[in-house]
Amino acid sequence: MSERVYLDHAAGAPLLDVARGAMDEVWRLPGNPSSLHTAGRTARRLLEESRESLAECLGAHATEIVFTSGGTEANNLILLGAAGARPERPRVAIGGAEHPSVAGVVDHLPGRVDVLRLDATGRLRDGQLAVLTERTALVSVLLVNNETGVVQPLDEVLSAGRAVGAWTHTDAVQAFGHLPLDFGALELDALTVTAHKVGGPVGIGALVVRRELTLAAPGFGGGQERRVRSGTAMVALAAGFAAAARSAVDDLSQEAARLESLRTRLVSGITSQVPDVMVNGSAPISTAILNVTFRGCRADDLLLILDAAGIDCSTGSACTAGVHEPREVLLAMGRSQPDASASLRFSLGRGSSAAAIDRVLGVLPEAVVRARSAAL
């Protein structure tokens, strides 16, 4: 039986050997990093070494790294933490195609959230940033969209936020390891990353927060992470995260060029071999994500046909997948419900190869025919 083709790296990348090795070195050691004895101090040293390594990868200071359980918690911390810390600024602004961990703030801060609308390319519409005022506590915009790969104009967001004194945050989960990130040079106030998108372990992420900022803690406990996040530190996971991050940053330029070539190969093959398709999103766009509408299909049907053929892809964010519904991101871009319901995401990573792309292209045309027949 042929080896499966994995094209869902945006949901989670395979664990890198370097990350597994880093964790294996730490798992066997006892000690809580908050303890004062020798084992505790050893655990603290290992944790801080990982923090310093990750900070270096992100162009940040080690004291700006707040370890979390993942990107979702990091996003929750900055949104609720900023809103709670700045009661004189009752409003929060978010992009119109955010990850659910950001978009969900609409329900948690009812009547206080401004949603910045998108144009047909998936980027912020002209004039949307005019909604920011001296009453805005925070503006949060996804740097690379997790479903389409579209890159937002972060410099414009930063400029508009600074002009009115709003804190600026970007969810860079899908950007980390694919685009250069320099927290200090960008002059952001906060940034979110997570480990399992870059070949690190599931269960750890980080919120990078400028040293001068004080967030309101949405929970309570020991305040181990800069008094904004409580709980015993995840020393082994932090070691795996730092190792994967270092590998991703060191290989970024070479890997980005390789993935761009593979993505171009996949786009060319799909558009030339399959009729009535539409690629969603336009440049600037991530080299690792391709979202395609296969008109006349139900995306779940096509996904399952490909799955049976040994190809793993997705209908969108793994945080919302499971029940088929039109993709909110595509609807926000003005796509019709039928088109939004007929779209698949192929996301590339270190394990992707030209042979894997060719295998997908060898299976896909017939799979689309079958899916369209099933939809009749």
Catalytic center residues: 319
The tokens for 214 are 């004080």
CB atoms inside a 10 Å sphere around CB 283:
8
Cα angle: 76, vertex 103, 204; to 5 degrees:
35
Q: Write the CA distances from 331 to 123, 263, 281, 300, integer angstroms.
A: 13, 24, 12, 17
> Any alpha helices (H) in 86-123, and if so which ranges?
100-103, 105-108
Q: How far is CA 347 from the centre of its chain?
A: 12
End-to-end CA distance of the chain: 32
What letter would DSSP give residue 64? G
User: Residue 182's beta-bridge partner residues?
Assistant: none
- Nearest-CA neighbor of 78 among 7, 158, 140? 140
Whether the CB-CB separation of 244 and 197 falls below 8 Å is answered with no
Q: How far is CA 350 from the centre of its chain?
A: 16
Residue 80 and residue 59: Cα distance in Å, rounded? 25
